[in-house]
Structure 1
Amino acid sequence: MSSRSGRSGHSSGHGSGKKSRAGQSTRQLIESLQTHRVNTLTELCRIERVAAACETEEDARAFQGPMTAAWDYYVTSNQMLSELRGLTPSYPFCGDILTQAQALVRSDPESNRSWNLAWLCLVKIRDADLISTYAASEAAKPEMWGGRLPEVDEAEQLAACFLYEWEMAVLNMLRHWQASPTWY
């Protein structure tokens, strides 16, 4: 039963207490974003869903800056790369892909459509086909082969392994969003 309408027999003081608790919860979540106590994809997505469900415009606006900064920190602090590498244990995710995605996002005038740098980077990795490019170049590096140049078929086979594991990691991360976190 909701006490918001005041029809449930509760005094209006109870409703303001509920509003006060909601405001306190909002402040606590914002503080956890600002202090980086929360810096994992799962937790940031959870807070993002709370922010999207705010009942007041004031609370929604209060989340905007801290949420944007938290996503930026998640990407630039290498936490996103760490999580991608956790999803790619056999063929660790190439950090250059994420670096390139960030550069592409930051130079893209359409990137202002979202507050979520991690989501923008994942979409850019997928849409710009960065994984194919980097899988082939990484697989051909002599350091992948004990210092020797690989045969063409060896490099292609390794590139296919990179491609599969890295694409699955990106798709796995993108599944955290039921809808695109965009302004429009």
Structure 2
Amino acid sequence: MSSRPSKRSNTVNGSANKGARRSAQSTAQLIDSLNTHRVNTLTELRRIERVAAESSDDDQVAFQGPMTSAWTYYVTSHNLLSELRGLSRNYPFSSEMLDDAKWRVSNDPDSNRSWNYAWLVLIKIRDDAMVDIYASADASKPEMWDGQIPETDEAQQLASCFAWEWKEALDQMLRHWETPPTTTGY
């Protein structure tokens, strides 16, 4: 037996080192994409969030700040509203409702349970039953009826259409999380 390492063990060790370098490079690239806001859809942010969750403890720490900032940017730059409206083309998602949800999250002492601002806002809309409230209010506005005050049954019918489409959009967005993105599990 020779004291020289075999060609096979060099290859295995070399592959491990290359894998670690590739992982570090990949982590750095993902963090850079978060910091520069090149990632701007819920699907892309969730993909990176999954990578971060499965990474080493050191990488998870490195991801924390950029991931939190990216989610905040996603919501405040109107990308969340754009995606919600893309899912509710017949009855565009209410920007007033989304703004109210953002305000409610910022004034909620439990909002620190997650780093994910988008999830917090979507959950706030769902848990506070905001869709039904805003659907009824929007459906009753005279501007929805060419300046006329609608009949009660007409407004209720339109509110039902708003609510159905907005809830579908909300549910579709929330399906991106198999488990809540919290430190406590919920």
Give TM class, smaller chain.
over 0.9
Give the equivalent residue in structure 1 for 2:14. Answer: 13
- Distance, in Å, in 1 between the alignment partners of 2:101 and 2:129 is 10
Deviations 1:95-136 (A, max 9, x none): 011111111111111111111000011100000001111000
Q: Amino acid of the residue matched to residue 179 of structure 2?
A: A
- Distance, in Å, in 2 between the alignment partners of 1:23 and 1:113 is 28
- Sequence identity (%): 57
Give the equivalent residue in structure 2 for 1:70. Answer: 70
Q: Amino acid of the residue matched to residue 37 of structure 2?
A: H
Q: Amino acid of the residue matched to residue 41 of structure 1?
A: L
What TM-score does the superposition give when structure 1 sets the normalisation length?
0.93
Give the equivalent residue in structure 1 for 2:165. Answer: 165
Q: How does 1:58-97 map to 2 (within 5 A)?
A: 58-97=58-97
Aligned residues between the structures:
176
After TM superposition, what 4+ stretches of structure 1 lie above 2 angstroms from structure 2?
Answer: 8-14
Deviations 1:124-170 (A, max 9, x none): 00000011110000000000000000000000000000000000100
State the SS of the aligned residue for 2:25. Answer: helix
Query: CA-atom RMSD, angstroms?
Result: 1.0
- Distance, in Å, in 2 between the alignment partners of 1:104 and 1:50 is 30
Q: Does residue 112 in structure 1 map to residue 112 in structure 2?
A: yes
Structure 1 residues 14-23 or 166-175, which shifts more?
A: 14-23
- Distance, in Å, in 1 between the alignment partners of 2:43 and 2:86 is 14
Q: Does residue 45 in structure 1 map to residue 84 in structure 2?
A: no
- Distance, in Å, in 2 between the alignment partners of 1:20 and 1:108 is 41
State the SS of the aligned residue for 1:183. Answer: coil
Shift of 1:13: 3.3
Give the equivalent residue in structure 1 for 2:102. Answer: 102
- Distance, in Å, in 2 between the alignment partners of 1:158 and 1:138 is 9
> Unaligned 5+ residue runs, structure 2?
1-7
What TM-score does the superposition give when structure 2 sets the normalisation length?
0.92
Q: Does residue 134 in structure 1 map to residue 134 in structure 2?
A: yes
- Distance, in Å, in 1 between the alignment partners of 2:28 and 2:138 is 45
Shift of 1:11: 4.3
- Distance, in Å, in 2 between the alignment partners of 1:109 and 1:91 is 32
- Distance, in Å, in 2 between the alignment partners of 1:23 and 1:109 is 36
- Distance, in Å, in 2 between the alignment partners of 1:132 and 1:66 is 34
Give the equivalent residue in structure 2 for 1:4. Answer: none
